[in-house]
């Protein structure tokens, strides 16, 4: 990858899916990019994600759908090289809450907020009655990217390095510190933004998963349960079948709860009875970086260094990652073109 000498020095805080995709977009556009991450990639929330490309638990939906559509196409292209990238195209069914009145998205958002998504996903269609689980009356069938996140994060790090970027394992205590040797700071610290930029709006939505041996399920299945914030899902990954899930607002623990795990398996086994006996391979817990709205904006730090914030992607960071990365790149371009050498 050619490095354009006209690039600027950029410090990206965060080495999850949001930080790495932003860093790649910037490095491949010719900037000199350094990622600073407190955690190794396998210790991030991104590594826990089930990896389905579908907008879920993220606001505002209108922007999220635009970002998701862009990511869909990037991930679909990466899915042509699944061994290398961790992305695959997999068919599945998204069912809506039964008896919920108006059609609903899985997190209770109105279905029409996702209308642009339904239009944009190639081949997406209404599920037939035979394709729906018992008790459900509506849903969608689609072939979407499903991403093995630990493998994808490794791929992203390698791609960043190939574009001349670096990853440093270090905690920063302020964005000013991160920006000391940089022309621009990009803040992709996820839930870490709560402390890093004193943003109380970003908060955890804890999610627990159980990974079991796959008895032969090849499609993904997601069902919203009426009257519950939990969503039942089954995602076939190369490392096992991912069973989910939970969504606990403001719960901070990363410790799997055995009772919750049992309840997840029982819910999934109502749909696929063979799962009741499936061997458990692992338990996982992650904290979604939720926010009333994703913060993807530019501000100046007290010393004048421009900062592009890109955090608060809730339950859809994988889904929107490449769309948001494009927007970060556009913001940096606008800073350069708008007011000279980044206004300093």
Cβ closest to ligand FAD, residue 75 vs residue 336 = 75
Three-class DSSP category at 22: helix
CA dist list (Å): 291 to 50, 52, 108, 288: 20, 20, 16, 9
Give yes or no for a contact between 186 and 3, defined as CB atoms under 8 angstroms apart: no
Cβ closest to ligand FAD, residue 146 vs residue 275 = 146
Smallest distance, Å, CB 233 to ligand FAD? 8
CA dist list (Å): 63 to 4, 85, 170, 188, 203: 30, 26, 32, 18, 20
Cβ closest to ligand FAD, residue 128 vs residue 173 = 173
Smallest distance, Å, CB 122 to ligand FAD? 19
- Asked if residue 45 belongs to a known ligand binding site, the reply is yes
Rounded to the nearest angstrom, the gap between the alpha carbon of residue 258 and the centroid of all alpha carbons in its chain is: 25
Give the pairing type, strands 184-187 and 32-37.
unpaired
Copy the structure tokens of residue 28.
């491949």
- Asked if residue 315 belongs to a known ligand binding site, the reply is yes
Q: Rounded to an integer, what distance in angstroms lies between the CA atom of residue 38 and that of residue 172?
A: 8
Q: Rounded to an integer, what distance in angstroms lies between the CA atom of residue 243 and that of residue 233?
A: 6
- Asked if residue 316 belongs to a known ligand binding site, the reply is yes
Cβ closest to ligand FAD, residue 190 vs residue 336 = 190
Cβ closest to ligand FAD, residue 3 vs residue 120 = 120
- Asked if residue 86 belongs to a known ligand binding site, the reply is no
- Asked if residue 239 belongs to a known ligand binding site, the reply is no
Smallest distance, Å, CB 4 to ligand FAD? 26
- Asked if residue 161 belongs to a known ligand binding site, the reply is no
Copy the structure tokens of residue 330.
């556009």
284 pairs with which residues across the strands?
209
Copy the structure tokens of residue 134.
């018992």
- Asked if residue 8 belongs to a known ligand binding site, the reply is no
Cβ closest to ligand FAD, residue 13 vs residue 127 = 13
Residues that bind ligand FAD (CB under 6 A): 13-19, 36-39, 44-46, 48-52, 171-172, 188-192, 196, 207, 209, 245, 286, 288-289, 311, 313-319
For residue 229, give every residue at least 6 positions away whose Cβ sits within 8 Å of its Cβ, in sequence order, or none: 107, 108, 246, 247, 248, 249
- Residue list, annotated binding site for FAD: 45-46, 172, 314-319
- Residue list, annotated binding site: 45-46, 172, 233, 288, 314-319
- Residue list, annotated binding site for D-dopa: 233, 288, 315
């Amino acid at each position: 990858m050619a490095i354009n000498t006209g690039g600027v020095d950029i410090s990206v805080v965060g080495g999850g899916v949001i930080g790495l995709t932003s860093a790649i977009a910037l490095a491949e556009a010719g900037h000199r990019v350094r990622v600073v991450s407190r955690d190794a990639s396998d210790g991030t929330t991104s590594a826990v994600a089930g990896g389905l490309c579908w907008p879920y638990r993220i606001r505002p939906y209108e922007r999220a759908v635009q970002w998701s559509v862009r990511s869909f196409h990037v991930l679909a292209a990466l899915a042509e090289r699944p061994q290398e990238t961790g992305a695959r195209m997999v068919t599945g069914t998204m069912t809506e809450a039964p008896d919920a009145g108006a059609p609903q998205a899985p997190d209770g958002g109105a279905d029409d907020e996702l209308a642009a998504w339904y239009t944009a996903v190639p081949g997406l269609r209404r599920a037939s009655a035979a394709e729906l689980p018992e008790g459900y009356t509506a849903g969608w069938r689609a072939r979407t990217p499903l991403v093995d996140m630990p493998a994808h994060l490794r791929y992203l790090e390698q791609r960043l390095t190939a574009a001349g970027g670096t990853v440093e394992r270090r905690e920063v205590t302020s964005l000013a510190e991160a920006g000391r040797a940089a022309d621009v700071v990009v803040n992709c610290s996820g839930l870490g933004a709560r402390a890093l930029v004193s943003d109380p709006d970003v908060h955890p939505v804890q999610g627990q998963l159980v990974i079991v041996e796959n008895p032969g399920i090849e499609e993904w299945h997601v069902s919203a349960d009426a009257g519950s914030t939990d969503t039942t899902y089954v995602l076939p990954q190369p490392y096992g079948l991912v069973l989910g899930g939970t969504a606990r607002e403001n719960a901070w623990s990363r410790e799997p709860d055995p009772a919750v795990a049992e309840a997840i398996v029982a819910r999934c086994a109502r749909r696929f009875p063979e799962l009741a006996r499936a061997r458990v391979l692992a338990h996982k817990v992650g904290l979604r970086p939720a926010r009333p709205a994703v913060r993807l904006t530019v501000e100046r730090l007290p010393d004048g260094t421009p900062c592009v914030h890109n955090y608060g992607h809730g339950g859809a960071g994988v889904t929107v990652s490449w769309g948001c990365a494009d927007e970060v790149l556009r913001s940096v371009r606008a800073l350069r073109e708008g007011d000279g050498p980044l206004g300093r």
